[in-house]
Amino acid sequence: RLGSATSLSSAVVNTRLQELLRLFRERTERVKEKLIDPDVTSDDDSPVASPAVAPVPAPGGELEGDKPSGDDHYCEMLCCTFKYRPWLDRLKSSQFPSSIDPLTNLMYVLWLFFVVMAWNWNCWLIPVRWAFPYQTPANIHYWLLVDYLCDLIYLLDIVIFQTRLQFVQGGDIITDKKAMKENYLRSQRFKMDVLCLLPLDFFYFKVGVNPLLRFPRCLKYMAFFEFNNRLEAILTKAYIYRVIRTTAYLLYSLHVNSCLYYWASAYEGLGSTTWVYDGEGNSYIRCYYWAVKTLITIGGLPDPKTLFEIVFQLLNYFTGVFAFSVMIGQMRDVVGAATAGQTYYRSCMDSTIKYMNFYKIPRTVQNRVKTWYEYTWHSQGMLDESELLVQLPDKMRLDIAIDVNYNIVSKVALFQGCDRQMIFDMLKRLRSVVYLPNDYVCKKGEIGREMYIIQAGQVQVLGGPDGKSVLVTLKAGSVFGEISLLAAGGGNRRTANVVAHGFANLFILEKKDLNEILVHYPESQKLLRKKAKKMLKSNDKPKDEKGGPGDPVIIPPKADTPKLFKAALAATGKGPLERLRWRLKELRAMQE
């Protein structure tokens, strides 16, 4: 009895020690996973929130937190009360920036718009007021009011804005006030800005209000070209603005020519010959019509009579041919740049169709190729995204890839917990591919060498006895084929057919690209392999229960003992019953 009790107690102690050892191992594994993968949730219970303490009411019966202070301001609207700051406080708190980035600051672009409007006022109205009798003593104060308002805009641009513009020196962005001011004072633009504000208006007291004395105001052309560059940088369709600007160039040249024609007619005498303006109708419209016919060389104009008229007409013809050819060439360049992508798309499609016709490709295949070209172009605006990004630096390509693809890739369970820089390197290797309806993305049994991320569209996983039953439909943001990136041996074969349901835009990550990246991230490589093993085990469990044929088995099970061998053991006295008897005899001997 004593020996049996001792053996029983030792067995209990051994069992308890093994249980404790198993618990310690499990806890160690959980801590290890938590250190490697921060996304793994802890098994510990969440701390219980402490009960909320009710606020103590003030002696007056109101809560202290609900009582508005005397310095606060409230606005009652409908049934609610909103806290707001007085407009004077808001005005005091706002201040003008000490430095302005001319490339990205939209406030500076808006200010340039007002400067350009003042510049256009001078460029368009000075010739009109000089040639046509539109400026009279009755309305002279209106003209002068707008003139000096434009001069004020010029002055504010010099004093406030131009002295605060940041600039680059030796690769550094200079934001120091003194340095920015000195940089502007040494620039060519400062000289032109001072020249365009020459106070020639003082000659008004001697020669009268002559608009030609304001001609230096037109020298602020640098602001106009800077505004064009900044506006084209922020517009999504800049070619539309370029077309409008080129058209304005043509209209302005006709405007100046009409002013010169009226001046020439007034110099010769209105209605003195058949060539000059006869003074009937709207003077500006009639002269503008004459300028259009002259510059475009339509013909049908009366012949000049005097030497002055002949020289003026010859200069008009020469200038018209030159100006019109320049405008047509510039318009062609603008339209060509706007449709460059469309032209490239048509060229690629025509070359592909010519190739397919030469080799007599079946018509069904040709139609699918045409459909791919059309859908890819209309959905992406380009045929290959890599061609657009190849000219950018590596850092900018990474920034674009993060904005476009990071939200999708970060949701992949296989990559959660990996090194963030490894994810960034992987984003640059993603390749966009468009699949047409009923295209096979991958087929059952083929070697998997890539992972797929659905960017847009849907794909269907097919299975069943006939291989055509829809098992599941994957939508945008889903991932499939990720285990094939890390599986080794025969475990990376596709287990089902995947077909595009409609048009599908997928990101593809190839296995060789991932292997090149993981060389530099060994810890992430260990974590990925561990997760891949877990996914393979979870995927193989239902297959093992069903006992499906062809399942990959890492450790084959022990084979059953053949029946003939069992009979031979029984005949020689070495059967199970004889072994049991021998075991009992051994236990009795140990007890004695």
Q: What are phi and psi of 499, to 5 degrees?
A: -120, 140
Is pLDDT of 549 > 70? no
Residue indicated by tokens 């304005």: 248
**Segment 248-298, tens digit of pLDDT:** 998 999 999 999 999 999 998 888 888 999 888 899 999 999 998 887 777
200: helix, coil or strand?
Answer: helix
CA proximity to 317, closest of 328, 327, 325? 325
The 10s digit of each residue's pLDDT in 48-74 is 444 444 444 444 444 444 444 444 555
Contacts of 474 (CB under 8 A, 6+ apart): 454, 458, 459, 460, 461, 480
Q: Are 392 and 422 in contact (CB under 8 A)?
A: no
Question: If you average pLDDT over residues 371-384, what whole number do you get?
Answer: 79
Residue 174 neighbours by CB distance under 10 Å: 16
Give the Cα separation of 166 and 178 in Å (integer).
11
pTM for the complete prediction?
0.63
- pLDDT-based confidence at 329, cuts 50/70/90? confident
Instruction: Kindly report the backbone phi and psi dihedral angles of residue 138, in degrees, each rounded to the nearest multiple of 5, phi listed first.
Output: -75, -35
Taking a C-beta distance cutoff of 8 angstroms, is the pair 223, 116 a contact?
yes
- Kindly state the tokens that stand for 349: 């499609």
- Interhelix angle for 420-427 vs 394-409, to 10°? 110
Q: Which class is 393-540 in CATH?
A: mainly beta
Structure tokens at 383: 């045929």
- Topology (CATH) of 237-383: Helix Hairpins (1.10.287)
Of 147 and 382, more confident:
147
Least confident of 84-93, 121-130, 341-350: 84-93
Query: What are the boundaries of each domain within the chain?
Result: 96-234, 237-383, 393-540
Share of the chain above pLDDT 70, in %: 77
